[in-house]
Amino acid sequence: MRAMVLCAGLGTRLRPITHVFPKPAVPLLGAPLLRYALATLRAAGIREVGINTHHLLGVMEEVARAECGRAGLALTVSREEGEIQGTGGGIRGLNDFLRGGDFAVLNGDVLFALDLAPVLEAHRNSGAAATMVLLPMPEGERFNPVEVDAAGAVRRIAGQGPGGPRLTPWHFSGVHVLTSAVFGFMAAAGPEDINRDVYVKMIGSGLTVRAHVLEDRAAYWSDLGTPARYAATHQHLLFGQAPMERFGAANPFTLPRGAGNYWAHPSAQLQDVKVSGPAWFGEGVALGRGVRIGAAVSVGPFARVGDGAQLNRVAVLDGAQVPGGRLFEDAIVFGDGQLVSSR
């Protein structure tokens, strides 16, 4: 089976970070978000992956090639130059690569600790034209619901579709398994949404879009779509609230555990540094004299922290430069000391 990871989005709610990184390339504990999606696919036995690119497409393609090489996956790229094509148009752009059998599609900008293999098996056994992986609606969020009937068929998406009696609303995880039947319901060109446009037409024609519901509220999912959500996910990981072991070699906590409450690459320079933790320090990190690290702090690979800086609830992204002599709290630091509040 082949798979696609959607990587063309603009990441507008995470600006200005996404002026530098396409959202699937935004680092999280030293790894671009894409690395976790690829680890999920590889664990399910998938070895050929396609992506689409649009925003900062050169950067996104470079990251994807490096990450697929790291994971031992063959990569096919579809470039959306000019107008972004949406999720449906993005899949259509890889028609030649995906057509011919069932295929999986994942959003490249979420962290979802999913065992994909049982989903693939259930889809194959169902005979459905497509399967959507659904979760309970996250508390306090208002994502558009996917409404499912008692037989497990999707009947309405974001208020569109034929509907029916006694429907239950769920949250879409961003993971699908599809058959080539979807291509028969796509427009010849132009932007379209796989859920609201393509699936709604398929359901209306009598084809089955199946719901694969994960009712366990402990299933970890985050779209990291805003600085506050990114920070919350960052803290969840550091405090051990997400099952990162499911990502195998992509698990950032395979680094050696320090004498304190932290993980650090052997090349990290932490002399004359006080760490409360939990904290994480990547490859080539250099912390200056008298640096103080509080709770929920990560310093990405090859980042620098100046003398006397104090960090608390801070994510320092890969290669960033943190000025010395200042207190940083509830922030994401990237580039040459640029700050985004994560409150």
- Domain assignments of the chain as residue spans, ordered by start: 2-222, 227-341
**In the predicted model, what is the mean pLDDT of residues 199-208?**
95
Pairing type for strands 74-79 and 103-107 reads: unpaired
Question: So what's the pLDDT on residue 218?
Answer: 58
Per-residue pLDDT reduced to its tens digit, 251-299:
999 999 887 799 999 999 998 999 998 999 999 999 999 999 999 999 9
CB distance 111 to 220 below 8 Å: yes
| Residue 16, C-beta contacts closer than 8 angstroms, at least 6 positions apart | 338, 340
Going by the DSSP 8-state scheme, the letter that residue 240 receives in this structure is T
Task: Note whether 33 and 111 are within 8 A (CB).
Answer: yes
DSSP state of 194: I
For 60, which DSSP code?
H
Higher pLDDT: 181 or 225? It is: 181
Mean pLDDT of 165-190: 93
The token pair that represents 178 in the structure block? 């599809």
pLDDT digits (tens, 9 = 90+) for 313-337: 999 999 999 999 999 999 999 998 8
> What is the average per-residue pLDDT within 27-56?
95
CATH architecture, domain defined by 227-341:
3 Solenoid (2.160)
- Architecture of domain 2-222 in this structure: Alpha-Beta Complex (3.90)
Give me the mean pLDDT over the 173-183 stretch: 95
- C-alpha 161/C-alpha 87 separation (Å) is 18
**Exposure b/e, 14-31, CB count within 10 A at least 16 = b:** beebbebbbbbbbbbbbb
**pLDDT, position 43:** 94
Confidence (pTM): 0.93
Res 142 pLDDT > 80 = no
Residues 6+ apart with CB under 8 A from 202: 129, 130, 181, 182, 185, 209
The three-state secondary structure class of 237 is helix
Confidence of residue 217 (pLDDT cuts 50, 70, 90): low
